[in-house]
Structure 1
Amino acid sequence: MYRLRTSFIGQWALLFLVLGSCCSAMAQDLGGRVVNTGGFPIVAATVRVLPGGQFSTTDEQGFFLIKGGGSTSLLTLEVSHVAYARVTIQLSDGAGSPLEIVMADAVTDLDEVVVIQSRILQKVIENSQSVIHIDKDFMDRNGTGTFSGALAALPGVNTMNVGVGIAKPMIRGMGFNRILVNNRGIKQEGQQWGADHGLEVDPFDVEEVEIIKGPVSLLFGSDGLGGVINIKENDVLPENGNAIDITSSYQTNNGAISNSLAYKGRQDNWFYNARATHQDYGDYTVPSDAFTYAGFNLPIFNNRLKNTAGEELHFSGTLGYRSQKLSSSLRVSSFNQKAGIFTGAIGLPRAYNLQHNGDFRNMDVPRQENHHHTVTSNTTLALGADRLEVDFGYQRNIREELSFPGAHGIAPELAGSNLALGLYLDTYTANVRYEINPNDHHQVLFGGQLQYMRNQNDGFEFLLPVFNSAQAGLFHYQSFAIAPKWNMNAGIRYDVGSHAIEQHLQPVYDRGTLLPTGEFEERTPAFERNFHNLSGAAGVVFKANFQNHLKLNLGNSFRFPTAIELSSNGVHHGNFRHERGNANLGMERGYQADLTYLHQSKRFFFEVAAFYGYYTNYIYLAPTGRFSPLASGGTLWEYRQDDALFNGFELTVRYEFSTGLRADLAADFVQNLNLNSRLPLPLTPPPSVTGSLEHAVLPHSKVLEDSYVFVSGRYNFEQRRTDRNERTTPDSFLLGAGLGFHLNLFETELQFRLSANNLFNTAYFNHISRYRLLNLPEQGRNIMFSVRLPLNL
């Protein structure tokens, strides 16, 4: 609801000149006031111009001003506030200014705010998918030092980790290459096929994320069977100026020290930002003094896992331009991590090897060194009512594992260095999307994607061969209203893909002398595989009213087998096993149904989502029960294919009491079945229930703002549904607590947070953690303190 007024609003209201000629397209300022239905001003509402992306935030009197908002020809304003229904205003030439915008007194309209960075995909996703939105505040509250660690607080999302510095997400029981990370418009490619390969994203450099649960192959292509983590472009300053943001944190369990410095600037249509982050952490503490490995009971000295320290250094920078019809940005980022691997993870450890040398921050071998460098370009062009989006990206992913050659059956003088395994992946990506809007209730979308990857290797060990991979896809999508309360969407997609695998001959070493025999073993033959697929999806949304929405999505998703699944053949020490690929693997196909009911009012939020999926030729890595013939190879695991079923649900409930108390409850459950073995698939997370109580403290204080205290608990059910030769995991309960507040001193706002995880120092196992294979419990009690200082210069 909105009203246009041509008179002045108050004596100091913003003055605007309305251009009367319909042929004129000169830029002009846009401004006005945002009020509720009672006529009272709304503070901190966001008013955004589309296209263009300029935005402003209302002041204490509800006024806003957007400099150079442009001609009102085909102009759209998006107005949002956390406590009110979102408003979309379509203006035309000659519309009066200033504006008075009236927002309904309820957080009920579920149509999401459209963001310039990925507006086209945003509208598609929100139609019938199950989506969770999180912001910078959520990341700060749930921060653990890794980006994936913060996501584990969400229902339906779990974290697979190696220690505390390496983590990757799972959605609805799916991980690895079935979870796609769309980082600022570009699909992030690294070594995501391995559980010990973390998600290479700076946790401090993320301001807004949406978790899309369920199949998204229609929009993103292969690898999107389980869901997408969509990291959005960070916001720019609303007006000319400069800002600095300083964040520091400390964790008691491993002495982790994190510091991040960010800079943002804007000058008219130009904007720019930069960030540098450094993290340093020591060996982490577990609530146990022993563990079992290969039948041996081994000590954990001082309750600290030797050689689990790490260090990270990340950089990023963006330069961009935004006008009424054009938005374009160029982003460069560099993620750099060095992390120790627990000494008991490679070879057969002895008690004396686990004794600390007194330096808990020392990183010895075995260890991994990871680097992920990216260059990303995002451009959006408004063509009348239509829009064109083009994304380009280049990624250089470097992963190196260092170890002593003797532990791998190779004489040290022959190896030349401690580089056991080097993986070097170059990825080139291009995306194009064109949106046609015949009217306000109909959207037509055409899109295409191209990707090329080149992988090379190095080191005295072998796991993956040299290979080239390419993928290309075209899709068409339409969304339209079939009735006042009914929206429907449907699309179709065609993809092709190919892998060219090079032969690899590995030298054979004598196990007695550790010297080469002069013979070579063919680990991987040379071969090529080509794939193609036609898929589609359809969905419907019923909006009974502002408070109640019902969504149904039916999708046919797919995934091409990766070069790793086809051709790997070596010891993967991070997973304590020999992994062997299968060159005859076929393409995965999934047929999924998602049903979501959502109710949202001013104080009460309720969402339940149920899903069911049938998959043909589902690829998984399974233990054979046999030992590897390779030195220190452990057990032999092979990639296999079988038909499988997945089903489950997620539940989220929130209620805000008038006293300032808020209660949250979340539950998730997923189960699967291998239709050939009639057993569950490996690495399936157990069901869990999470609850929390949060109370606002001193809500009307002018010195302490946004102050709160909370207590939370998480119960993980026992996981007895396991694959053959996979361990079961007992249940566990974890208690957490914390507080936070904003301190206003001398017109400067300091933001403090204090949280404690695993308060009872409970010894528990994470079923999908890689150290679960060693019977190593997860991190013990950890108290985290952080302070953030945002400065507007």
Structure 2
Amino acid sequence: MKILLLSFSFLFLSLLSFGQAAKLIGQINANHQPVENINIKILALKKTVKSDADGRFVLEDIPVGALELQITGLGYASKKLAVEVRSGLNELDINLQTATSNLDDVVITGVNRATSLRKSPVPIAVLSKKTMDQNVNTNLIEAIVKGVPGVTAVTTGPNVSKPFIRGLGYNRVLTLYDGLRQEGQQWGDEHGIEVDEYGISRAEVVKGPASLTYGSDALAGVINMIPYVPHSQENGLKGDVTLNYQSNNGMGGASVGLAYVQNDWKYTFRATGKTAHNYHNPIDGWVYGTAFREYNLSASARVDKPWGYSKTAATYYNNQMEIPDGSRDSLSRKFTRQILDDGDDIKNRPIVQDADLTRYAITPLHQHIQHFRFYNNSQFKFGNSDLNVLLGGQQSVRREYNHPTVPSQAGLYVVLNTFNYDLKYNLPDISGIESTIGVNGMYQQNRSKAATDFPIPDYDLFDIGAFLFAKKTFGKLDISGGVRLDRRNIQWNDFYVGTDPATGFGKKVEAGNATGDLQFPGFSKNYYGFSGSLGLTYNLSERLLFKANIARGYRAPNITEIGSNGLDPGAHIVYLGNRTFKPEFNLQEDIGVIAYLKELDLSLELFNNNIQNYIYHSRLTDANGNPVVIVPGNLTYQYQQSKARLYGAELTVNIHPTAAKWLSFNNSLAYVVGLNQNEDLLALHGSAAKYLPFIPPLQIRTELKATAQSAIGFFDKPYFKIDAAIFADQDKFYALDDTETFTKGYTLINAGIGSSLKSKSGKTWCDIFIQCDNIFNIAYQSNLNRLKYFEYYTDSPNGRSGIYNMGRNFSFKAVFPF
């Protein structure tokens, strides 16, 4: 009886203790600064709260006793803590470490709720500003290409790089700036990404269909470029000055950034300028027509309150960029310049003088691109749910000057106005299911101004899509997926082009004009898309993960694919579209394995991508197989549509021996094959039509890096690295009508050193990066370099055809914080 009474007494006291309510107040810091939006979860109770803008969190009505907390957050290594909770008030300070492994980093893009990379079944890569600074880059996309396996770029000189993901590019890769989709006439070969590379703190790449979140144009993936946001909670002004010089084309860059924090408000401002003359290589010498001059301005204001936050920002991009056409003297192979409109003979132009090849002045024949952006991104918190609203307007103004006798007359002059909207509501968790509903889209209007060439009509576009996304964790298994429905309307009225009697050039005219011809008959069509995805991540252990995902993507044809009928002066191509095209749909399967081992990180990703109604362009030939020439000196391409299949793999092996913590050996491999499944073409032309255009070859990147583990005098953890970029022969190309030709493989050796310079008190004076690309000055042509095909002679004295890529290039970069 005594034993029974003692047992009941013990049970009563235990229940009383458990029933006592306690309160836990905590502070989350990283690098001595408060961190917001960190998840603090009591594992036994499945109770979760988030840290606020000051890094504070409160857990109320929790039981007394031993509890285990799990702390996770974007950009920080997760950790678990055992806490002994006493009755009453408890206080806890938690310090987090930033995520150091690229494989275990965390991302925002490509999913509807912030999630860690290890939980996302979609292949995603993250590139930090520090990594980008340690490479030689002339634009932001070039930096991403060097840092993310599976990402390549079609280039037109050093200042134009269009991203490709796993062999797909143009309007199939959606680029975002701070979550706002980038709209800037991106259909053209020579239309680059209009973003300030010095103002980006982080780039995130989704590899695979992301139509579920973004609708049309994310068929191949998404690149989100995230600008700098001050994380300091201390009031006051901070900033940095970046100076950059590159030897090959004399590029000089300067950027000044300011950040001001005042209580709940954070302000940023940045101004950037870059200028360069023509670049150089050992085959062509100075490549005429590749100089550029670029200016950028950006500013933002953000307020953080208990109800959420609101950020308003504006950017301005201004770029003057020359237009190479590849015309040369047939014997000396020196570049020539166009001086006539009527009577111009591309093979009998005057030779460019040597003094003009290294001048920074922009030639009269050039492009002038301006991009304005204004947007607001806000989050409103409602207990365990939140509403995210993104509204933005942007304008892209593009002028291409191609008339040497009237240099002020633009050949192409188009103005694109876009209004974007994106609303996402993250619902409260129900039985552990995290779900999101949303609607997003855009209204777009494109108008031609006082131009002479009209490759596309004036058009209006309206886009809307709604989606549902959900994810749930079952122990070691994370499952996520969703569905989406889209509608896009594009329409234009009859568009007439006539002749200006004063100049003899073309001009837009009204219907009924005596000189007018109907170049673009009126058009109106709705495109519908149903897309979705389903994926899982299985944590076999803390160090070994398995991922699988299947996704259906959708892309409506862009304006040039359905509406083009004329010369694009900057591309030197006459494009012919097809208004009967259907939307593209793809079904992609991804399988991946990630291992975080003691001595290395390992990632293997396999993908298979089947596309219906794939759109591509091919050179147009006549019945005798001769190229069709509509505008002398310019190629003619016509868009085609067929089935296609792409498959391949990416492998990453990063070795970091524990016995030599100062050493790292990083390696990656990317391989993709693109098959054209147009049965009629294959039956008629065989192997010449077997492959898709613009498919990168097998490429391997390997880097050996040594980093000091402590300061050496004023140098804080200096590093030295040497790396190689190895590209195999590309013999799997679209050879029909000589649209593409064989590209020989090559290996580029690069090296760099760098360090932070700090005072004895620990204050950073500056960060220095000295690098050299293509140390041995190898002459090479990338198969994705459009200048490779800028050739007007069947034979040449040196046996070389087209323009080669940049030769040896030293880069000196210094960042001065204050």
Which bracket does the TM-score occupy, shorter chain normalised? Answer: 0.7 to 0.9
* SS of equivalent residue, structure 1 residue 544: strand
Q: Which residue of 2 aligns with 1:497?
A: 488
Deviation larger for 75-84 or 634-643: 75-84
* CA displacement 1:463-520 (0-9 Å, x = unmatched): 1110001110000011112x3111111211111111112222222599x988999633
Counterpart Cα distance in 1 of 2:279 and 2:101: 44
Q: Deviations over 1:714-762 (max 9, x none)?
A: 1111111111122111111111011001111363431100000011111
2:746 maps to what in 1?
732
The 10-residue stretch of structure 1 (750-759 or 103-112) with the greater mean CA deviation from structure 2: 103-112
- Counterpart mapping for 1:545-560 below 5 A: 545-560=541-556
Structure 1 pair 225/32, CA: closer, same or farther in 2 (3 Å)?
Answer: closer
SS in 2 for 1:565: helix
1:777 correspondence with 2:804: yes
Are residues 212 and 368 of structure 1, via their aligned partners in 2, closer, same or farther at CA, if it must alter by over 3 Å? same
Q: Residue 85 of structure 1 contacts residue 105 of structure 1 at CA under 8 Å; is this kept in 2?
A: no
1:674 corresponds to:
676
Q: How does 1:289-438 map to 2 (within 5 A)?
A: 289=284, 303-344=285-326, 348=346, 350=348, 352-358=350-356, 360-404=359-403, 417-438=408-429
Partners of 2:369 and 2:212 in 1: CA distance: 31
Partner of 2:48: none
5+ residue gaps, structure 2, are 1-19, 41-50, 63-68, 328-337, 339-343, 508-512, 683-689, 791-801
Q: What is the CA distance between 1:427 and its match in structure 2?
A: 0.4
> Structure 1 pair 79/479, CA: closer, same or farther in 2 (3 Å)?
closer
Instruction: Evaluate the alpha carbon distance shift between residue 204 and residue 471 of structure 1 in structure 2; reply closer, same or farther with a 3 A threshold.
Output: same
Match of 1:216 among 204, 210, 213: 210
Any idea what the Cα deviations from partners look like across 1:112-139, whole Å, max 9, x if unmatched?
5577x99944339852110111111012
Counterpart for residue 636 of structure 1: 636
- 1:706 to partner: Cα distance: 2.6
Alignment of 1:31-46 (within 5 A): 31=27, 44=31
Per the TM alignment, residue 656 of structure 1 is displaced from its structure 2 partner at its CA by 1.2
Report what 1:184 is aligned to: 178
Asked if structure 2 preserves the Cα contact closer than 8 Å seen for 1:555 and 1:592, the reply is: yes
- Check whether the contact 1:592–1:611 (CA below 8 A) recurs between aligned residues: yes
Could you tell me which amino acid in structure 1 is paired with residue 376 of structure 2?
S
Asked whether the 8 Å contact 2:411–2:569 carries over to 1, the reply is no
Aligned to 1:16: none
The separation in 2 between residues aligned to 1:629 and 1:618, in whole angstroms, is 26
1:460 maps to: 452
Q: Residues 572-587 of structure 1 correspond to what in structure 2 (within 5 A)?
A: 572-587=568-583
Q: Supply the distance in 1 between the matched residues of 2:563 and 2:137 (Cα, whole angstroms).
A: 35
How do 1:535-574 residues align onto structure 2 when only pairs under 5 Å count? Answer: 535-574=531-570
The residue aligned with 2:142 is 149
Q: Which position in structure 2 is the counterpart of 1:714? A: 725
Deviation at 1:576, TM superposition (A): 2.7
Is 1:663 the counterpart of 2:665? The answer is yes
Letter aligned with residue 217 of structure 1? S
Q: Does 1:474 align with 2:466?
A: yes
Opposite residue 634 of structure 1, the aligned amino acid is N
Deviations 1:185-211 (A, max 9, x none): 211111111111001110001001111
Moved more, 659-668 or 96-105: 96-105
**Cα deviation 1:79-118 (Å, max 9, x = unaligned):** 5699954569999999855315488999789775577x99
Specify the SS of the correspondent of 1:438.
coil
Distance 1:67 1:624 in 2: 62
Does 2:761 match 1:761? no
Contact 2:308 2:378 in 1 (8 A): yes
TM-score, structure 2 normalization? 0.82
Contact 2:110 2:213 in 1 (8 A): no
Structure 2 residue aligned with 1:237: 231
d(CA) in 1 for partners of 2:789, 2:564? 21
How many pairs align? 725
One-letter code of the match for 1:216? Answer: A
Q: Which amino acid aligns with 2:196?
A: D
- CA-CA distance at 1:306 after TM superposition: 1.9
Answer yes or no: is 1:252 the counterpart of 2:268: no
Distance 2:352 2:149 in 1: 37
CA drift at 1:704:
1.2
Judged with a 3 Å threshold, the aligned counterparts in structure 2 of structure 1 residues 52 and 309 are, in CA distance, closer, same or farther, namely farther
Residues 380-422 of structure 1: per-residue CA shift (max 9 Å, x gap): 111111111000010100111001166xxxxx5xxx9421101
Among candidates 118, 123, 128, match of residue 130 of structure 1? 123
Code of the residue aligned with 1:336 in structure 2: it is N
CA distance in 2, matches of 1:197, 1:114: 28
Q: Kindly provide the CA deviation profile for residues 617-644 of structure 1, in whole angstroms up to 9, marking residues without a partner as x.
A: 1111111234445333533211111000
SS in 2 for 1:344: coil
In 1, the alpha carbon distance for the partners of 2:492 and 2:788 equals 33
- Whole-angstrom distance in 1 between the partners of 2:725 and 2:139: 20
- The separation in 2 between residues aligned to 1:269 and 1:262, in whole angstroms, is 20
Contact 1:578–1:633 under 8 Å retained in 2: no
Q: C-alpha separation between the residues in 2 aligned to 1:544 and 1:219?
A: 28
Give the AA of the match of 2:373: T
Please give the alpha-carbon distance, in whole angstroms, between the structure 1 residues aligned to 2:61 and 2:210: 31
Aligned residues of 2:375 and 2:392 also touching (Cα < 8 A): yes
Name the CA shift for 1:120/1:697 in 2 (closer, same or farther; >3 Å).
Answer: same
Residues in 2 aligned to 1:514 and 1:245: alpha-carbon distance in whole angstroms = 49
Distance in 2 between residues matched to 1:107 and 1:320, nearest whole Å: 28
Instruction: Please state how far the C-alpha of 1:213 moved relative to its aligned partner.
Output: 0.3
Q: Answer with 320-329 or 195-204: which moved more.
A: 320-329
Distance 1:421 1:402 in 2: 7
Q: Partner amino acid for 2:36?
A: V
Pairwise CA RMSD:
3.4
State how far apart, in whole Å, the 2-side matches of 1:317 and 1:211 are.
Answer: 24
Determine the structure 1 residue equivalent to 2:765. 749
Identity across matched positions, percent: 24
**Inter-partner Cα distance in structure 2 for 1:106 and 1:344:** 47
Q: CA deviation at 1:344?
A: 2.9
Kept after mapping to 2: 8 A contact 1:344/1:354: no
1:68 deviates by 7.4
Once structures 1 and 2 are overlaid, which stretch shifts more, 104-113 or 171-180? 104-113
Please say if residues 144 and 150 of structure 1, whose CA atoms lie closer than 8 Å, have aligned partners that are also in contact: yes
Report the counterpart of residue 17 of structure 1 in structure 2. none
Kept after mapping to 2: 8 A contact 1:78/1:89: no
Q: What pairs with 1:42-121 in structure 2 (closer than 5 Å)? A: 44=31, 48-50=35-37, 67=54, 69=56, 72=59, 85-86=78-79, 96-101=89-94, 113=106, 120-121=112-113
Larger Rg: 2
State the 1:307 CA deviation.
2.9
CA distance in 2, matches of 1:72, 1:186: 35
Q: Is contact 2:565–2:577 with CA below 8 Å preserved after alignment?
A: yes
Range with bigger deviation, 467-476 or 94-103: 94-103
- Aligned to 2:696, the other structure's residue is in SS state coil
Asked whether the equivalents of residues 191 and 197 of structure 1 are also in contact (C-alpha less than 8 Å), the reply is yes
SS in 2 for 1:204: helix
Query: In structure 1, what is the Cα distance between the partners aligned to 2:83 and 2:448?
Result: 55
Tell me the secondary structure at the aligned position of residue 548 of structure 2. strand
> C-alpha distance in 2, partners of 1:127/1:524?
45
Write out per-residue CA displacement over residues 404-461 of structure 1, whole angstroms, 9 at most, x where no aligned residue.
Answer: 166xxxxx5xxx9421101110000110001123258420110100210000113111
Aligned to 2:596: 600
Question: Please, which of 156, 166, 175 is the counterpart of residue 169 of structure 2?
Answer: 175
